[in-house]
Chains A and B, each alone.
Chain A
Amino acid sequence: MRRSALTALLVLALLVVPASAQAAPRIVALTPFGANTLAKLGVKPVAVGQTLGGRERISPKLKGVPVLTLSHPNGPNLEQLASLEPDIVLSSPTWAKGNESMGDLGIEVMIREPRRLQESYSQTLAIGKLVGKAKAAKELVGQIKKQVARARRDIESEPRVMVILGVGRTPFVFLPNSWGGDLITKAGGELLTGGVESDSGFERISDEVVVAENPDVIIAVPHAEEDDIPSLAEYLRTNPAWAGTNAVENNRIYISVDNSLLQAGTDVARTIRKVRRSYLDNWPG
């Protein structure tokens, strides 16, 4: 009897151990969105990717988790990545070539870099399912939706906004299918793009279009440091090509250096509030 009970316990243990191992795959999250979603679901990835632009956006809950340096075209160093023995990598289309090589290493690669708010909800649910926390993910999505609704309340003015990527006088504009472009729209801005479409979410447009569309607000996302903001703003304000636009004449050229418009995150409501308060000037009170 005792022997049968022990055998039954052993069998049960053997069944339970693989099941729990399956429930906790080793995940590397290369995108801030992937890393922070895992953190909010209470899962620690084995490593996270550096934030593009060098400004930290990774949740404090992930303090101490190794950070992988990312570079074109592979993303992380593949040897370093392989040594972590991940089962899954949450990656971005930016590392398209590296994603292929990761696949060759037998690692499952999932693109988790949403370009639209709506997409971020479905990707959150997918991550939840992946780590066995579907219910928590559903609750998280509900929570973010509520926060976003609060952040979008009482939008009265809808300024015409152009969002520029990079430094220099060659404007790459954010398109509606970019994270920043979508959030500007959600914050009540009318995103100006000259009617351009591109799968990349960004495109270099003519200065003639900037003059003709006459934006009320220009937001530049230059991959720079806080200290660079005054000189960059002055540089853009004195761009002869944009002289005469409402944005220049009313001194409404802003510099965003915190990466929140460039890469998706879970801090959506905070970003929308910041855009409304600091740039669009349509936050109540």
Chain B
Amino acid sequence: MSAHGPASHQVSVSLRRPLVYGALIVALAAAVVASLALGAVKVPVSVVIDTLLGKEVTGPERQIVETLRLPRTAEALAVGAALGVAGAILQGALANPLASPDVIGVTGGAGFGAILIIILFPGSIALLPIGALAFGLFAAALVFAIAWSGANRGSTGKVILAGIAVLSLFTAGTTGLLAAYPEKAPSAIFFIAGGLTSSGWEEMQAIWPYFAVGFVAAALLIRPLDRLALGDDVAASLGSRPHLIRLGAAIAAALLAAASAAIAGLVGFLGLVVPHVVRMAGGTSSHTFVVPASALGGAALLAAADTLARTLRAPIEMPVGPFMAILGVPLFLWLLRKVV
């Protein structure tokens, strides 16, 4: 028994990863199909398929599938994957299981940027995604400037504390604006609560370069993050530069999280929990596995939650955050009980 134990354990671990990938791909495919097929208006599946295949479809159904559901599904996939990856690389870089895009100030900054436009410059509402992106990145830059200067520059504790301070600063600004202009709060609530909109491809066209750079940077950081996981001293002895890896990971996460906020508002939970779920399910913390699996898991979760948010009380649309929690928390708690 004892002779077979380690070998069978190794087999089970090596089998778990493909199994988890398989499960995530199935979940992602199911979420995409549901996202395209379901909505406030009943569109026959055959019409959905014909539209996607470019066949002749007339009437509002074509517009609903082509202009509303397809870009929204693509946005859900991009944002979900981006937040999953941002959380995975931040938790790795900061060696902190509670790290998420909130920690580097992006969420607070993006929220403030968006609310500033909604409340003070409603005439420039078209600039909302850019405002969220710019302030998200500005907040992250502030965190980096504080954390990578003075004593203990680039240390995990300093990054986290700087992040908390900057997040508090921007959150206070957002709350102040909402309190000062209460009548404009309804327009802002949806952004703060997080949720996708059906606004065609326009926003993605403006934001995709930030996603692209963030994803490429995250992919390039996978191996350095695995070395960093051995500890700063060991990583340095292997020729890595821990502070630089940490800074690179924080910048990549900031790009991904700010781009996500620009499109979907302040979507919490996903960036924090999805990396933990895939780590526990896969039985490994290797970034070679956790980063791509978090991308798949995040995309599947957000696409599924968004479908629920827009169909459960259709035609009323609800914020996506609570639905991600409904879908993700039971799985997270089950894994927590089984694995940890």
**In the complex, chain B residues 28-72 whose Cβ is within 8 Å of any chain A Cβ:** 39-41, 60, 63-64, 67-69
Of B82-90, B175-183, B230-238, B289-297, the one touching chain A: B175-183
Q: B144 within 8 Å of A by Cβ?
A: no
Residues of A within 8 A of B202 (CB): 240
Docked-complex contact A235 and B41, CB < 8 angstroms: no
Give per-residue flags for A200-228: 1 if the beta carbon is below 8 A from chain B beta carbons, else 0. Answer: 00111111110110100000001111011
Q: Write out the residue numbers on chain B whose beta carbons fall within 8 Å of the beta carbon of A172.
A: 186-187
One of A32-40, A128-136, A153-161, A163-171 contacting the partner = A163-171
Question: A72-B178, A72-B182 known; A240 and B60 CB under 8 Å?
Answer: no
CB contact list, B247-281 vs A, under 8 A: none
Q: Would A170 and B195 count as touching, CB distance under 8 A?
A: yes
Does A64 sit within 8 A of B, measured CB to CB? no
> Bound complex: CA of A166 vs CA of B186, how far in Å?
7
Cross-chain pairs A/B with CB under 8 angstroms, 18 sampled:
A94-B182, A167-B122, A168-B118, A170-B190, A194-B40, A195-B315, A205-B40, A206-B40, A206-B41, A206-B314, A207-B68, A208-B64, A211-B41, A222-B187, A225-B122, A231-B125, A240-B201, A241-B197
B7 within 8 A of partner (CB):
no
- B330 interfacial contact with A, CB 8 Å: no
A209 touches B315 (CB 8 A): yes
Which residues of A sit under 8 angstroms from B198, Cβ to Cβ? 169, 206-208, 241
Q: Does B200 reach chain A (CB closer than 8 Å)?
A: yes
Chain A residues lying within 8 Å of B314, measured Cβ to Cβ, are 206
Interface string of B83-123 (1 = CB under 8 A from A): 00000000000000000000000000000000000100011
A203 to B126, CA, bound (A): 22
Residues of B within 8 A of A204 (CB): 190, 316-318
> Assuming the A-B contacts A170-B195, A240-B67, A243-B63, are A208 and B315 also in contact, with contact meaning beta carbons closer than 8 angstroms in the complex?
yes
Q: How far is the CB of A127 from chain B (nearest CB, A)?
A: 23
Complex: how many Å from CA A228 to CA B123? 4
**Residue from the list B60, B197, B201 in contact with A214, Cβ < 8 A:** B60
B25 at the binding interface (Cβ < 8 Å):
no
| A244 within 8 Å of B (CB atoms) | yes
| Shortest distance from the beta carbon of B47 to any chain A beta carbon, whole Å | 13
**Contact bitstring A19-63, B, C-beta under 8 A = 1, else 0:** 000000000000000000000000000000000110000000000
User: Which residues of B have CB within 8 Å of A209?
Assistant: 40-41, 315
In the bound complex, do residue A167 and residue B310 qualify as a contact, i.e. CB atoms below 8 Å apart?
no
In this complex, what residue of A is CB-closest to B66? A240
Bound CA–CA A214/B60 (angstroms): 9
Contact with B40, one of A208, A214, A223, A224 (Cβ below 8 angstroms)? A208
Report how far A162 CA is from B111 CA in the complex, Å: 29
**B63 A211 Cβ-Cβ under 8 A:** yes
Instruction: List 7 tightest A-B contacts by C-beta distance, closest first.
Output: A240-B200, A228-B123, A166-B187, A206-B40, A72-B182, A52-B183, A207-B198
